[in-house]
């Protein structure tokens, strides 16, 4: 049985003070049982959020990771550096990085492998643009994005990875894929993996991302291949984030 996982991506939408307040509220509001919940602050707040999370079951993640482990890469943060601050997860291939920072299937695959090599679980984000959905090529797009990583890192590397399906047209727009639309793609992703390794396909957590809110979390959770959520906007409000988290508890 897969456990559900809820990940908050704070993006660049927070400052030091609001980050402290938010993490305090999440810690205070979380039920005490073992929690499958993760927050991904901007890099610079990782040390202090990491400190606050000591002794809690809340996981820490980064929003990106460098393509190399060390070297002359000004401005980059290596996976091993994140590991120093107990980061357990790193998002790789977010559509905002693909669109605005020239991330390609190849660099995403490198980031994925860097995370794994440092014992960090990559949260591989994939998803189609609105035009691509309208052209009916959604499956082709997610297959290409996923296969690029499988070819580079090997199918076995997905033993310790998470996939996040985030249709680009649903991110920050208030438009959510319907639970059925999301399920269809999640099922496709799982089948693609099953064609290569059945056990990995059954075990891997596939999260949905794109305008997840307390109002739609329940319907998404009800779908057999949706194993949690990658939340942007609503992860910045402790009450909403915790409501979403509760909706995903079995």
Residues that bind ligand 13P (CB under 6 A): 9, 94, 166, 171-172, 209-212, 230-234
Q: Is 166 a catalytic residue?
A: yes
Which residue number, 49 or 74, has a Cβ lying nearer to ligand 13P?
Answer: 49
CB of 161 to ligand 13P, least distance (A): 16
Which residue number, 183 or 211, has a Cβ lying nearer to ligand 13P?
Answer: 211
Of the listed 68, 166, 186, 202, which one is catalytic? 166
CA distance 103 to 123: 15
Residue 159 DSSP label: G
CB of 127 to ligand 13P, least distance (A): 9
Give the torsion through C-alpha atoms of 110, 176, 129, 195, to 10 deg: 60
90 three-state secondary structure: strand
Q: Is 202 a catalytic residue?
A: no
CB of 70 to ligand 13P, least distance (A): 27
CB of 57 to ligand 13P, least distance (A): 22
CA distance 154 to 149: 7
Closest residue to ligand 13P, judged by C-beta, is: 232
Which residue number, 183 or 210, has a Cβ lying nearer to ligand 13P?
Answer: 210
In angstroms, what CA-CA distances link 69 with 63, 65, 152? 16, 9, 16
User: Residue 158's closest CA among 149, 169, 171?
Assistant: 149
Which residue number, 80 or 219, has a Cβ lying nearer to ligand 13P?
Answer: 219
Q: In angstroms, how far is the first alpha carbon of the chain from the final one?
A: 10
Catalytic residues: 94, 166
């Amino acid at each position: 049985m897969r456990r559900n996982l809820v990940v908050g991506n704070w993006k660049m939408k927070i400052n030091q003070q609001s980050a402290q307040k938010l993490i305090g509220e999440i810690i205070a509001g979380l039920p005490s049982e073992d929690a499958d919940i993760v927050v991904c602050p901007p890099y610079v707040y990782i040390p202090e959020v990491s400190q606050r999370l000591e002794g809690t079951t809340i996981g820490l993640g980064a929003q990106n990771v460098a393509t190399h482990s060390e070297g002359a890469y000004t401005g980059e943060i290596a996976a091993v550096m994140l590991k120093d601050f107990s980061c357990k997860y790193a998002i790789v291939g977010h559509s905002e990085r693909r669109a605005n920072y020239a991330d390609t299937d190849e660099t995403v695959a490198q980031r994925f492998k860097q995370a794994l090599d440092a014992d960090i679980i990559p949260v591989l984000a994939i998803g189609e643009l609105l035009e691509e959905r309208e052209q009916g090529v959604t499956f082709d797009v997610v297959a290409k994005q996923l296969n690029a990583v499988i070819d580079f890192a090997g199918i076995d590397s997905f033993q310790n990875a998470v996939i996040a399906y985030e249709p680009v047209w649903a991110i920050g727009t208030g438009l959510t894929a319907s639970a059925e639309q999301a399920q269809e793609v999640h099922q496709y992703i799982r089948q693609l993996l099953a064609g290569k390794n059945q056990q990995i396909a059954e075990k891997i957590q596939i999260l949905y991302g794109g305008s997840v809110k307390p109002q739609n979390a329940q319907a998404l959770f009800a779908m057999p291949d949706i194993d949690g959520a990658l939340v942007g906007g609503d992860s910045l409000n402790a009450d909403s984030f915790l409501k979403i988290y509760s909706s995903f508890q079995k």
